[in-house]
Amino acid sequence: MSPGDSFGEQLLHRSLAGVDPDLSPVTYKTVMRSQTAQFAEWPDWVTEPVRAAYGDIGVRRPWTHQVTAAQHAHEGTHVVVSTGTASGKSMAYQLPILSDMTSGAAPHGTALYIAPTKALGADQIRALTSLTAGRREFAHMAPCAYDGDTEPDVRQWAREHSRWIFTNPDMLHIGFLGSPGRWRHFFRNLRYLVIDECHHYRGVFGSHTALVVQRTLRLARAAGANPTVIAASATAGEPARALGRLIGDDCVAVTDDGSPHGERTVALWEPTFTPGVTGEHGAPVRRSAGAEAARIMADLVIEGARTLCFVRSRRGAEITALSARQILAAADPELVGRVAAYRAGYLADDRRDLEAALSDGTLLGVATTNALELGVDIAGLDAVVVAGYPGTVASFWQQAGRAGRRGEGSLVVMVARDDPLDTYLVHHPEALLERPVEVSVTDPTNPYVLGPHLLCAATELPLTEADVAAFDAADVVADLTARGLLRRRPAGWYPAAGLFPHGEIDIRGGIGGQVMIVDGTTSQLLGTVDTGRAMSTVHPGAVHLHQGRSFVVDELDLTDGLAITHPEDPEWSTSARETTAMDITATTRSWRSGPLTVALVDVDVTHQVVGYMRTLHTGEVLDVIDLDMPPQTLSTRSVMYTLEPEALEGVGVPVDRFPGALHAAEHAAIGLLPLIATCDRWDIGGLSTNIHADTGLPTVFVYDGYPGGAGFAERGFTAFATWIRATRDAVTDCRCESGCPSCVQSPKCGNGNEPLDKAGAIAVLNLLLREIP
Ligand SMILES: Nc1ncnc2c1ncn2[C@@H]1O[C@H](COP(=O)(O)OP(=O)(O)OP(=O)(O)O)[C@@H](O)[C@H]1O
């Protein structure tokens, strides 16, 4: 450490004290320079009351990105502002809406705000109310929440009086579009639709939300309005394309961030292997990210640094806080009470208390799940520890962005988990810290999602030829008509009599039926899981975590949709073992180069869970237990590649090593797909085979784990080169000898990670890269 070191670097130095520099877990460190504010002038259309209101809360002038985004919206262009945490994205939508409402231009104009969580909507109303408090010019707006918590009389009041309603996609679907007649006046006057934190709308949830948004816009337009969409997103790849897919229309992105921020030291940290502990097939095991994060947090707390530690699971958050307290109990007992845990499920008041305790320094360290990622008023911490890559670059920045008081230095440490994507990122910082390649993907054309939404749309307002074209739904409409659910009339398609389709859709529930997970000792409902995933997640013997408590499944009844559990906290976690068979039913797109063919295909995947593995919390494998479950078939989409056997032999992989090489290459590719598409490795599956019946060749599939697909496989197809290059780098960067969870082993492998050939996988991936044009 030198005297000129910034505050963040000094903190990092302290947490590395005593570590042999040759064994340093820090793989990369950078100091991100501070930036001064880039101001713009208030546009002349911003009304006087709006300027005055901002002046009252200390905002003298807007930052450049706020004005650029607001100007687009004011001119009627759909816009997404994709800038850093706490960069004032709210003002980008507040400026045009508040000005519109106070200019007299649209005496009845309305605005609708949607957020992925109720809590965020509530935070935004609170901010808006304090901005406009005591000013008569804004009194007629009557901003109001309209969500699952809103009382019936308030709902009625909101429909009659509020001109700016805050809701979520679930309520928009049921409460607004489910009874459009009640909202005709509101929709007819709709000037702006705000979509906050729009990077959250991904995969199947994103596809559902896209269709809800597009149905809303359709109704408003039919009523004579022409609403402009203003979206806010964390930093993400291709934000304009992602929003375009969500709203079904063109839009522009604003990404140049003009807000000021202090100097920030970012360190990437790879825990070392734990001596003497072995995992599956004798693979080495790294120290867990949670244990490492607890130690770092304890060190930072001793230095007096206000620290937030983000942990992936609720249970992990509790354990990390507990471990940090244990370390402090030995080092400095007075500090024990200044560390706490926070997770979703706590009440809003708890959250406010916690924010206050962190702000005033009563608390110095908090271990939390991503529950504190959205809509929290905690900026200005000294350090953030991210224990395990949170799954998306957007989330990483959202968490990291909590560090740094304006103008002051701070530290961000990302600790890698034992996982290929985490390994890749700590060795390829550019993928995390520079331009993200990950795109929020959705697939609103998935017939399993689109079909039910079209039925809703038809009950809201008959479907015209133009609607069918806009939803890209000709085939699905033909199918619904053939099944008697829609009726063709000269003016368009009408719903069959007696149809009430809105209640059939669960926006967050995936696709297909649900299995309820119940505590058999109290009959309490713990949660639900898609029927398609029930076998692999709530099979008999599976350990199920719920709000930090642990349950073991006694019985899974797919006919009644019930998984019965009892409370038990065993020392292991479980992962299902399954067999998979794959049939290609259609090829959508493909290309060929020499011995390599890459394709996007429709597939039928048949799974059968045959057992499960029990793994101790240290990573050590306890045993594998057999199960006999019925097979299940999923029709979905897959990206796939085939290679000529001679080409594999030509790169030193003989026929007997094909299975291990392809299997290892497939695992690593599944682990790295979340780098380019906002998915989780649990959203996708894979299969590799040295000869597949439909291709007659060595073949690797990576498919969407949802009926009809969710857009992930498609993104793998379109960004194939980026994806495979990152996969190859992740495998070659890992320092283990013959495969471990950080490179080619998978926690969800249906075959118990057998066979796996790391060297063979590197040869396969290099061959792909040689052949990709
Ligand atoms: N032009 C400005 N000048 C000074 N302060 C500003 C300006 N614009 C916004 N702020 C302040 O910056 C803070 C963050 O604003 P806001 O909550 O809108 O950010 P955000 O980008 O929406 O945050 P998040 O990333 O959490 O979604 C607020 O306290 C706000 O008052």
Q: Does domain 7-33+261-418 have CATH number 3.40.50.300?
A: yes
**pLDDT per residue as tens digits for the range 408-467:** 789 999 999 888 889 889 998 988 888 677 778 888 888 888 999 999 999 999 999 999
Q: How far apart are CA 595 and CA 255, in angstroms?
A: 41
Closest residue to atom 4 of ligand 1, CA basis: 59
Pocket lining: 91 vs ligand 1, CB cutoff 6 Å: yes
From the CA of 86, how far away is ligand 1's center (Å)?
Answer: 5
pLDDT of 345 reads 56
pLDDT of 659 reads 95
Q: How far apart are CA 290 and CA 416, in angstroms?
A: 10
From the CA of 90, how far away is ligand 1's center (Å)?
Answer: 7
Q: Is the pLDDT of residue 701 over 90?
A: yes
| Residue, of 666 and 544, whose pLDDT is higher | 666
From the CA of 92, how far away is ligand 1's center (Å)?
Answer: 10
From the CA of 87, how far away is ligand 1's center (Å)?
Answer: 5
pLDDT of 547 reads 61
Least trusted range by pLDDT, from 106-110, 520-524, 742-746, 748-752: 748-752
Q: Torsion over CA of 49, 51, 53 and 56, rounded to 10 degrees?
A: -140
Residues 516, 560: contact at Cβ < 8 Å? no
Instruction: Give the ranges where 173-274 is alpha helix by DSSP (H).
Output: 184-188, 203-222, 239-247
pLDDT of 217 reads 98
Q: Is the pLDDT of residue 768 over 80?
A: yes
Mean pLDDT calculated for residue range 748-761: 83
Residues 393, 429: contact at Cβ < 8 Å? no
Instruction: For residue 133, give both structure tokens.
Output: 């408090």
Local confidence band at 360 (pLDDT 50, 70, 90 cut-offs): confident
**pLDDT per residue as tens digits for the range 6-16:** 788 889 998 88
Q: Which residues contact 714 (CB under 8 A, 6 or more apart)?
A: 441, 443, 600, 637, 639
pLDDT of 358 reads 82
Closest residue to atom 30 of ligand 1, CA basis: 88
How high is the mean pLDDT of the chain? 89
Pocket lining: 92 vs ligand 1, CB cutoff 6 Å: no
From the CA of 112, how far away is ligand 1's center (Å)?
Answer: 20
Partners of 584 in the beta sheet?
Answer: 603
Closest residue to atom 3 of ligand 1, CA basis: 59
Closest residue to atom 25 of ligand 1, CA basis: 85
Pocket lining: 42 vs ligand 1, CB cutoff 6 Å: no
Q: Is the pLDDT of residue 1 over 70?
A: no
Which of 57, 126, 199, 259 has the most ligand 1 atoms within 8 A of CB, as the residue to mutate?
A: 259
From the CA of 534, how far away is ligand 1's center (Å)?
Answer: 42
Pocket lining: 89 vs ligand 1, CB cutoff 6 Å: yes
Looking at this predicted complex, what is its ipTM? Answer: 0.95
Q: Is the pLDDT of residue 144 over 90?
A: yes
Closest residue to atom 11 of ligand 1, CA basis: 88
Q: How far apart are CA 376 and CA 357, in angstroms?
A: 13
Local confidence band at 711 (pLDDT 50, 70, 90 cut-offs): confident
**Residue type at 546?**
H
Q: Is the pLDDT of residue 394 over 90?
A: no
What DSSP string runs through 454-512?
HHHHHHHSPBPHHHHHHTT-HHHHHHHHHTTSEEEETTEEEEPTT--GGGG--TTS-SS
Closest residue to atom 8 of ligand 1, CA basis: 88
665-687 in b/e form (b: 16+ CB < 10 A) is: bbbbbbbbbbbbbbbebebbbbb
Local confidence band at 548 (pLDDT 50, 70, 90 cut-offs): low
Q: Is the pLDDT of residue 377 over 70?
A: no
Q: Is the pLDDT of residue 376 over 70?
A: no
Pocket lining: 90 vs ligand 1, CB cutoff 6 Å: yes
Q: Torsion over CA of 555, 561, 566 and 571, rounded to 10 degrees?
A: 70
Candidates 390, 452, 450; CA nearest to 422 is 390
Candidates 512, 504, 509, 491; CA nearest to 453 is 504
**pLDDT per residue as tens digits for the range 734-748:** 878 888 877 888 876
pLDDT of 576 reads 87
**Burial class of residue 134, CB neighbours in 10 A (0-12, 13-18, 19+):** exposed
pLDDT of 493 reads 96
**pLDDT per residue as tens digits for the range 248-303:** 999 999 999 999 888 899 999 999 877 777 777 777 777 889 999 999 999 999 99
CATH match for 48-254 among 3.40.50.620, 3.40.50.10860, 3.40.50.300, 2.60.40.1250: 3.40.50.300
Local confidence band at 731 (pLDDT 50, 70, 90 cut-offs): very high
Q: Is the pLDDT of residue 315 over 90?
A: no
Mean pLDDT calculated for residue range 205-228: 96
**pLDDT per residue as tens digits for the range 17-70:** 878 888 889 999 999 888 899 999 999 999 999 999 999 999 999 999 999 999
Q: Torsion over CA of 348, 349, 355 and 357, rounded to 10 degrees?
A: -160
pLDDT of 471 reads 94
From the CA of 141, how far away is ligand 1's center (Å)?
Answer: 22
pLDDT of 405 reads 67
Which ligand 1 atom is the nearest neighbour of the CA of 375?
26
pLDDT of 301 reads 95
pLDDT of 283 reads 77
Q: Is the pLDDT of residue 212 over 70?
A: yes
Instruction: For residue 455, give both structure tokens.
Output: 């039925």
573-584 in b/e form (b: 16+ CB < 10 A) is: bbbbbbebebeb
For residue 356, CA distances in Å to 198, 211, 359, 361 come to 28, 39, 5, 8
Least trusted range by pLDDT, from 17-26, 370-379, 408-417, 692-701: 370-379
pLDDT of 245 reads 92
